[in-house]
Structures are given as C-alpha cells and as structure tokens.
Amino acid sequence: MARHVIGDVHGCAKALRSMIQELAPTADDELIFLGDYIDRGPDSRDVIDQLIQLQSKCKVIPLRGNHEWMLQSVVSRGLDDAMWLRSGGKATVTSYGGSAKKIPRDHLAFFESLLPSYETEQEIFVHAMYDPSCDVKSQSDELTYWTHLPASLPAPHHSGKRVFVGHTPQPTGEVLRHTHLVCMDTYCFGGGFLSAMDLESETVLQVDRHGHIRRVPVERFAMLMKGCVQWFRSRKS
C-alpha cells in the first residue's frame, strides 16, 4: 500500500490530473489531501470533479482548507461573500458558470464531507497550523484553518508525531521539511508546484500548473534533511 500526502491545489486542474496519472493509485493506496482545492487557479470545478472520481479508485482522505471554509460559509450558512471573492473565490465562481448557486449537489456534498484534521499512530495532518501542547482535534478553528506558519517555527507536537500542513505558500517551490514538521504548499497557482510526498520513502513528486512533472533528486533530499537536522539541533541548544 502506497501512502501520499498532497498540498494545496488551488484550482490547478492540469497539475492534479498529471499527478494522479503519475501516481496511478490502486484500491489499497491512500491519498491525504491537505485542503484548499479551490480558488485562485483557473478550474476549481474540474479539481472537485477529479477528487470525487478519485474516491472510487483509492482511499481519499480530504481535509478542509480555509478556502473551502469560506465557500461553505457563503453557500451553506448565508454569510457575505466579499471576503471569499477577494481571496480568490471569483475564479471558483467563474468555473461554476458565474454563480455559486450552480455548484452541483455532489460537489456540495463533497465540501460537507471534508475533515478538519486526520491523525495516525505516527502523523498528524491539518491544513494550516497546530498548537504543540494541544490535541489537534481540540484546537481552535483559527489554528486549524487560518494561521500561517511563523518565521520561528512551532515546537514539535507533544505527541511526538510529525505534523504535515499546507496553507503557508513556499515561494521557492520546495517542500519545507523538518524532522517534526512538513509544509506541502509549494505555491502551484503562483508559479510553483503541486507536491505529493510518499510517506514511506519521503520522495516528492512535483507538477507545475501546466501539468509538467519534475522529481527532486535524491541528493537534494539528503542536503535538505541535513540542513533540517542542523536547524533542529540549534533549537535544542
């Protein structure tokens, strides 16, 4: 069984399609998505179509991002749409034919099914941020959906589990990787990549918004991990 964690898609349907084709998941495989499937990029509707179809091919664990939170607040809870539209929602509305009222029922059901977090024996997955001293299921929505990673990264989670997040774009296009924390948002819609990490081997597959694939050389992984270990030791000293 292969397990991958995938960062923010943000309407980049070509990137997602190429990634799924390259990963070629089977029924036993697990794909964990960290949220923010919609907004900003050109085809949010197609992204959701792909994710719904993918659920029949493998185990999909889709988390909710702040952009899905905003859409649901407008569509299901009747809140004002100004903040959502300013934050990239206009692109999503356009992809649905110019009106949020045209979002299909199966798409609305998909949004309702999204999880705030996911936890295994070794890992925690959450869209935005975490409180090192708090169980992730008990933390605030502000941390779960909205808070960006600070320049001084949070301490390891009290459980000892490695935490995987998205939400904070990495403009270099590189996965932010530390021994206790990984950020998978590599800025696909802004000229970076959509990234997927194999949770067993830690190799990373990246696809740009046009669907072009690149693989980060193993040598670069070793260099990045060496830097992360040095950073972690400096924090403890």
Burial of 130 (0-12, 13-18, 19+ CB in 10 A): buried
pLDDT tens-digit profile, the chain (237 residues): 999 999 999 999 999 999 999 999 999 999 999 999 999 999 999 999 999 999 999 999 999 999 999 999 999 999 999 999 999 999 999 999 999 999 999 999 999 999 999 999 999 999 999 999 999 999 999 999 999 999 999 999 999 999 999 999 999 999 999 999 999 999 999 999 999 999 999 999 999 999 999 987 654 555 555 555 555 555 554
Structural domain harbouring 134? 3-236
Nearest to 126 by CA among 182, 84, 207, 85: 182
Enumerate the β-bridge partners of residue 224.
none
Number of domains in the chain: 1
Residue 215 confidence (pLDDT) = 81
Distance, first Cα to last Cα, the chain: 39
Residue 216 confidence (pLDDT) = 75
Token pair belonging to 70? 């905003």
Taking CB atoms within 8 Å and a gap of at least 24, the contacts of 177-183 are 177/224, 177/225, 177/228, 178/153, 178/228, 178/231, 178/232, 179/228, 179/229, 179/232, 180/155, 180/156, 180/232, 181/149, 181/153, 181/154, 181/156, 182/5, 183/7, 183/149
DSSP 181-225: EEE---BTTTTSBEEEEETTT--EEEE-TTS-EEE--HHHHHHHH
Residue 9 confidence (pLDDT) = 98
How far is Cα 40 from Cα 219, in angstroms, rounded to an integer?
A: 33
Q: Which residues of 83-98 are buried (b: 16+ CB within 10 A; e: fewer)?
A: ebbeebbebbbebbee
Nearest to 31 by CA among 132, 158, 135, 118: 118
Strand runs (DSSP E) across the chain, as ranges? 3-6, 30-33, 59-62, 117-119, 123-126, 162-165, 176-177, 181-183, 194-198, 204-207, 213-215
CATH of the domain at 215: 3.60.21.10
Question: Which amino acid belongs to residue 229?
Answer: V
Helix axes 105-113, 66-75, angle to 10 degrees: 130
